[in-house]
Structure 1
Amino acid sequence: MNILLRHVLERLVRQGSLLVTSPNGATDQFGDGTGVPAHIHIKTARAERAITIDPMLALPEAYMSGEVDLPGGGVLGLMRIVFQNIGDAAGIDTAWTRALDKARHTFRRFQQINTTQRSRRNVEVHYDLSVDLYRLFLDDDLQYSCAYFPRLEMTLDEAQSAKKRHIAAKLQLEPGLRLLDIGCGWGGLGLYLASSFKVDVLGVTLSGEQHAVATERALSEGLAGRARFEIKDYRELGDRFDRIVSVGMFEHVGVNHYKTFFNTCARLLNRDGVMLLHTVGRSGPPSVTSAFVRKHIFPGGYVPALSEVLPAIEKAGLIVTDVEILRLHYAETLKHWGKRFAANRDKARAVYDERFCRMWEFYLAASEASFRWQDLVVFQIQIARKNDTLPMTRDYIADGEKLLGLHEMAHSGQGQRAAGS
């Protein structure tokens, strides 16, 4: 192991146990030896040099190429050790790390210039992957966002259904309302709301793959007259809506465009309208997107702090009526996704290749670790244009969820009896 990498690891890893096998076959241990050990096997000198210079990007890339293996603990175990010790890293080359952080903050706006054309290209990288891949690890409704776990023992499908009920209750829906779903994915939420509440849904996406699936689902479920989907940027819309919902899309807006996003929502939302924004966020101060995620997973993406979002809402003339922070719910969601992906890994490799599978494994596990041991959370921000549009207390949310759950349970029971008759 080269001297510089050894020095960094000795200073960084104070708690836990990290084993590092170098290209020459020698294995060193770092930390106090407590807990479940994590093990990195660096196979090539090239990978070792790259990790020394830029570990946040080089380590996942070396794992993707097979130049690094994680025989003990996997990605999740490694990230647990890193995050367990990250606070102690403040003493390592403090001046250099502060300068690097400042540079990253300076350049993050250039990395998030998400014009309409650039947003379409960014979406193609991730969301125009084959739906066959996503079917391998998502729930039956293809919900590619944080589930809601009132009980940890819930299945993924149960938790995603609970998420849809939770969002619907906050939207205070009535038959005949016009609803806009910004970033509609494969149509699951929009179709659920159209079917359950008889609202008229327009879902917009920049993904051709998602649009095709959502449109086919609307036809097959007999909802084409009530739910339609278009390939369109939200900035191009001109109609007005009674309700707006956006789940898992705001992370792709970019900090440069928050003013535009909320000004557009204010323009599209009727006077008595309600909006629900569901987005990944951070409980800490503003930060930057990791180099690995920015390059390989979500180009142009950014996870905001609440302090970056609320001022943009206020300046757009909108009123924040409720904020809920979902802690650990996404960690549990990603845990389910990771297990499902692992169980279907051979099928994923048949769709893409080994390098892609290793990239996806790193992405899912590192994301789970960030929600479990770092400052990533999920914001659900309810927004209105008038302060008397919604009830004065939050009781209506729980009441609405309960009624929806009973209705769905009764409907499911009727379907099971009909199938058995």
Structure 2
Amino acid sequence: MKIILASMISRLVRRGNLKLTYPDGETRSFGDATGKPVHIRLNSKRAQWGLVLDPAFYLGHRYGSGDIDLVEGDMFDLLETVFTGNPEFKYYDSGWNRFLERSRYLLRWLREKNDIRRSRDNVQHHYDLTGALYDLFLDEDKQYSCAYFETPDQSLDEAQLAKKRHIAAKLTIGRPGLSVLDIGSGWGGMALYLARNLGAHVTGVTLSDEQFAVSSQRARGAGLEKEVRFLLEDYRNAPGTYDRIVSVGMFEHVGRPNYLTFFRKAAALLKPDGVMLLHTIGRTDAPTSNNPFIEKYIFPGGYIPALSEVMRAVEKSGLRVTDIEILRLHYAETLRHWRQRFMARRDEAKALYDERFCRIWEFYLASSESAFRWQNLVVFQLQLAHDQQAVPLTRDYVGQGEGALKAHESGGKGRAAGARSFPQDTAINGVPTQPNRTPRAGHVKSDHRFQP
């Protein structure tokens, strides 16, 4: 078994400075001795077997159990060495690991068949951890999704605010009073931003008891309880119809068997002249199985889609794609901030839970950053509508909207009712934009109150 493991690591790490100590005390070096030194120690034979049989699962699993320790360097240093040591070779290039990946792919429907009850259980597994944990590493607004770094030196709080601003601009909310549905509303930051800065009336739905309680309290504390309400509800049971729909970081929990259900429900909830913005993690290569470690410990029932899988469902739903943007390294930078913040306050996390929990989360944050930085993960932002004229002809409105929102944010206090909106009702390149045009025959324009 030592020979097989050494052979695998030798092909994986051609560059770098990696030492491995086996359970019997023997130490072996790999790479060309360049870069940051990393020393990993296997404390049991089951750790050794695990790395050979299924490294995608057992590296994190055995690190969490204490069967693997890092003598020098940290988990991110180890993963950087693994993923950059030989770009021409991947651990799953072996026949056995290809078999494992294929088996997981064929069984994916069993793990991702998220009915309403199972969806709630899956969400509560992760999001109903104590809020004190998330306070250790998230920004002040508790945004638990990819930030948008306008400049490399932006702080996490600035980049998360820029994310909300960027999404709000794409929603083309041209006047106060529009109704918005926030699917997967988290701790309420996006909904509160839209209400505060654009005068929107927002309904947020979540399956997390913890997030529901916090977001509802935040709305009351901000004096926005008339403009924003949160429901402890599955998106499949969301009430009413809306001028705009936004969903940030929720689609990863839907599961492939439910993609068509999700988009058909969104189509039914979105008014004929409405606009939807979907922000989700995605993969740049072909459909595959979920990461087994993430599936077990972090996000049960979740899946990160290929764009082809998403588009197939959109095409059958009746919605039209009006814009797609790929955010590439933004999530890697977001996760870098989260990982560094978590590690700086690791002792507090251990006091909340235990050492095993901290190790599992170390691996989760480090491996997630690695996946966005060196592997195949990105973020998709899909803008959808029933009518291709629901949004302006060019992307100029996004920058204009961000500029108007930035000016309003810096303008101090007050609601958005009197705030300057970005120019939705003007002509762009000689073509009139029509997001707020005259209602079609048979379509009653919303009075912008919450739907029953």
Q: Structures share a fold, TM > 0.5?
A: yes
Tell me by how many angstroms 1:53 deviates: 2.0
Contact conserved, 2:197 with 2:409, CA < 8 A, in 1?
no
Tell me by how many angstroms 1:366 deviates: 0.7
Q: What is residue 11 of structure 1 aligned with on the other side?
A: 11
Q: What is residue 137 of structure 1 aligned with on the other side?
A: 137
Tell me by how many angstroms 1:98 deviates: 3.4
Matches within 5 A, 1:244-323: 244-323=245-324
Q: What is residue 99 of structure 1 aligned with on the other side?
A: 99
CA distances 1:283-317 after superposition (whole Å, capped 9, x unpaired):
11112211100000000011111111112111111
Unaligned runs of 5+ in 1: 414-421
The 1:149/1:258 distance shift into structure 2, 3 A limit, reads: same
- Equivalent pairs counted in the alignment come to 413
Range that drifts further, 290-299 or 311-320:
311-320
Range that drifts further, 323-332 or 63-72:
63-72
For the residue of structure 1 that corresponds to 2:24, the secondary structure is coil
The 1:329/1:256 distance shift into structure 2, 3 A limit, reads: same
Name the CA distance, whole Å, in 1 between partners of 2:378 and 2:158.
Answer: 20
Name the CA distance, whole Å, in 2 between partners of 1:72 and 1:150.
Answer: 34
Name the CA distance, whole Å, in 2 between partners of 1:12 and 1:343.
Answer: 30
Q: Percent identity?
A: 54
The amino acid across from 2:104 in the alignment is: R
Name the CA distance, whole Å, in 1 between partners of 2:332 and 2:139.
Answer: 16
The amino acid across from 2:237 in the alignment is: E
Matches within 5 A, 1:376-415: 376-411=377-412
Tell me by how many angstroms 1:91 deviates: 9.3
Contact conserved, 1:181 with 1:246, CA < 8 A, in 2?
yes
Contact conserved, 1:11 with 1:92, CA < 8 A, in 2?
no
Q: What is residue 26 of structure 1 aligned with on the other side?
A: 26
Q: What is residue 113 of structure 2 aligned with on the other side?
A: 113
Tell me by how many angstroms 1:105 deviates: 1.4
Q: What is residue 156 of structure 1 aligned with on the other side?
A: 156
CA distances 1:236-287 after superposition (whole Å, capped 9, x unpaired):
1231111000000000001111100000000110000000000001111112
Q: Does residue 195 in structure 1 map to residue 174 in structure 2?
A: no
Contact conserved, 2:208 with 2:232, CA < 8 A, in 1?
yes
Tell me by how many angstroms 1:92 deviates: 7.8
Name the CA distance, whole Å, in 1 between partners of 2:233 and 2:266.
Answer: 15
Range that drifts further, 45-54 or 205-214:
45-54
TM-score w.r.t. structure 2 length?
A: 0.88
The amino acid across from 1:317 in the alignment is: G
For the residue of structure 1 that corresponds to 2:107, the secondary structure is helix
Range that drifts further, 174-183 or 89-98:
89-98
Q: What is residue 360 of structure 1 aligned with on the other side?
A: 361
For the residue of structure 1 that corresponds to 2:212, the secondary structure is helix
CA distances 1:20-55 after superposition (whole Å, capped 9, x unpaired):
011222210122333323221112223222222222
Q: What is residue 418 of structure 1 aligned with on the other side?
A: none
Contact conserved, 2:54 with 2:97, CA < 8 A, in 1?
no
Over aligned residues, Cα RMSD in angstroms? 1.7
Name the CA distance, whole Å, in 2 between partners of 1:345 and 1:58.
Answer: 23
TM-score w.r.t. structure 1 length?
A: 0.94
Tell me by how many angstroms 1:58 deviates: 1.5
The amino acid across from 1:394 in the alignment is: R
Range that drifts further, 146-155 or 13-22:
13-22
Name the CA distance, whole Å, in 1 between partners of 2:267 and 2:92.
Answer: 46
Range that drifts further, 22-31 or 148-157:
22-31
Name the CA distance, whole Å, in 1 between partners of 2:71 and 2:321.
Answer: 47
The amino acid across from 1:251 in the alignment is: E
Name the CA distance, whole Å, in 2 between partners of 1:114 and 1:205.
Answer: 15
CA distances 1:137-174 after superposition (whole Å, capped 9, x unpaired):
00000000000001010110000000010000000112
Q: What is residue 373 of structure 2 aligned with on the other side?
A: 372
Matches within 5 A, 1:340-351: 340-351=341-352
Tell me by how many angstroms 1:83 deviates: 1.8
Tell me by how many angstroms 1:87 deviates: 4.9
Contact conserved, 1:114 with 1:253, CA < 8 A, in 2?
yes
Contact conserved, 2:205 with 2:238, CA < 8 A, in 1?
no
The 1:302/1:93 distance shift into structure 2, 3 A limit, reads: closer
CA distances 1:334-374 after superposition (whole Å, capped 9, x unpaired):
11111111121111111111111111111111101110001
